Structures are given as C-alpha cells and as structure tokens.
Amino acid sequence: MRNLFFLFFGLLSLAVSAQNNAGTIVYKQTVFMRREAQAMAPAGVDQNMTRNIPESMTTEFELNFTANESFYKELASRTDESAGEGGGMRFMMRRFNPPIYKDLANNRQVEENDLFGKQFLIDDVIPTRAWKIAGQQKKVLDYPCISATFTDSIMGRARVVTAWFAPTLPVAIGPQGYGGLPGMILEVEFDGGRSVVTAAEVKLQKPAEGAIKIPEKGKKVTRAEYQKIQAEKMKEMRESGMMQGRQGGGPGMIIIRN
C-alpha cells in the first residue's frame, strides 16, 4: 500500500507543468514564546517568571528553489531576547534557523550555524527522516496538502514534527531544511503547535539571479562533528552553572542566571 501511495503521487507530480519546479516561497514562523518557555524551563523554575515574555513572535523566511537546488534564509531580523523580572533570571529566546543550501542532484546540504559566537559551516549529505504519511488533508494557500509526521530527539528532548506537503509542487524540499516528501512542504508544526511555520506566499517563477547561493562562513565540519561539539559545549555550560535550557522546535530557550 505504501509503495502504491508513492507511485500515485509520483505520477501526479509528472503530470503537473514544469513551471511548478521553480519559484520563491515566503514562510512565516510563529513561535508561542510563553508556551515554549514554560515547556522548556528546567524542573523547579517558577512558571510565573514567564509572565513578562510576549505571547508569540513571528519571523519571515524565504525559500528560493529550482528542481535541483534551494536556498532558505531569514528575511527579517527581530529581537531575540525577552527579559522577565522575577527570581533574578533573564530569559533569552534564540532562533536556530540557519541559512540552508540544498543540492538535490548531489544529495548535499550546506548550512551556516552559530554556536555561542563561533561560526560553523555544516557540509554533509541531506538528512533523511522516517516520515509517516498520516493521510490527513487540508489546503495551504489553496494548494491541496497531505500530512506526514515523524518524532526525533534534540538535546535529549523528544519532539513531534508534522508537515503538510503539496504533491502538485513536485520538489522534495521545504522550510528549515525539511524535505524528502513527494511534494513541497508548505507547513510544519512542532509539538502540537508550540511553533508553526507556514507558507504565506508562493511565486512560481525562476528565482532572481544570485537568489540561490552556497553558504561560506565558518569552520567546515560534518553534521556528526557539529553535533558532538554542540553537545560538549552545552554540557560545559550547564556544569559551569551559566546556562540551563534545551533546544526545541523553532527557537530554543536559554535561562541565564545573573
């Protein structure tokens, strides 16, 4: 049945016009910051400390793509920090959405990542994920979409990711580096809605010259090397008492003691 499903959507993708293979998509990411902060705060932290954190924050991103390449980047910079007054703590909301380049033809992904002020350039194969086609349907910007889910673990925290992909846009990519489904991902939801990335505009035309580029800043590492460095740094910060927190879907929350 699974093979028949992918065969059906593979044939559907071939049936759509070639112009759907290139374009620009603007995504809006909404993070419900107070809900995220409460869920990610370490045990024992007074939940009332989050009362001064804004309810939500919205950031725009742009995905330029062709049949073989894509580049995802943030469009507008926003304030990352929200401070509370209680308990001598400061809440810092940090985004983990680096610019990401994908070369679908050669199974290559390159992304810039900042880890506590040091730049890294992760150059590796495109990650694969164990998507499960849930089969639910809805429209995103009038594009019929189908849901798919997977569960992963980031910094020791389980996270449920739900994506909505459009088979009529036959490119296996999406926001935040997600992809691998039989159609463009137009919406991604983390942990039941604590963070949502959804397409706000789709333009099906060849991207402007230079809109798709390969990131170049930072020390080049593989994904495994970066994850090892990240884990070591987080452990070091926690043991020193300087930081508590975990990374989640969208931004992470870091609690810094004054």
* Cα–Cα distance measured from residue 169 to residue 15, given in angstroms and rounded to the nearest whole number: 11
Average of per-residue pLDDT across 9-31? 72
| Domain locations in the chain as residue ranges | 2-257
pLDDT the model gives residue 246: 40
pLDDT tens digits for 99-153? 999 999 999 999 999 888 899 999 999 999 999 998 899 999 999 999 999 998 7
What confidence tier does 235 reach under pLDDT thresholds 50, 70, 90? confident
Highest mean pLDDT among 89-93, 115-119, 219-223, 252-256: 219-223
Q: Are the beta carbons of 100 and 176 closer than 8 angstroms? A: yes
pLDDT tens digits for 167-189? 999 999 999 999 999 999 999 99
pLDDT the model gives residue 170: 94
* Cα–Cα distance measured from residue 153 to residue 203, given in angstroms and rounded to the nearest whole number: 34
* Cα–Cα distance measured from residue 187 to residue 176, given in angstroms and rounded to the nearest whole number: 11
Q: Name the percent of the chain lying above pLDDT 90.
A: 51
Average of per-residue pLDDT across 239-245? 59
* Cα–Cα distance measured from residue 19 to residue 88, given in angstroms and rounded to the nearest whole number: 55
Q: Are the beta carbons of 124 and 117 closer than 8 angstroms? A: no
pLDDT > 60? residue 70: yes
pLDDT the model gives residue 31: 82
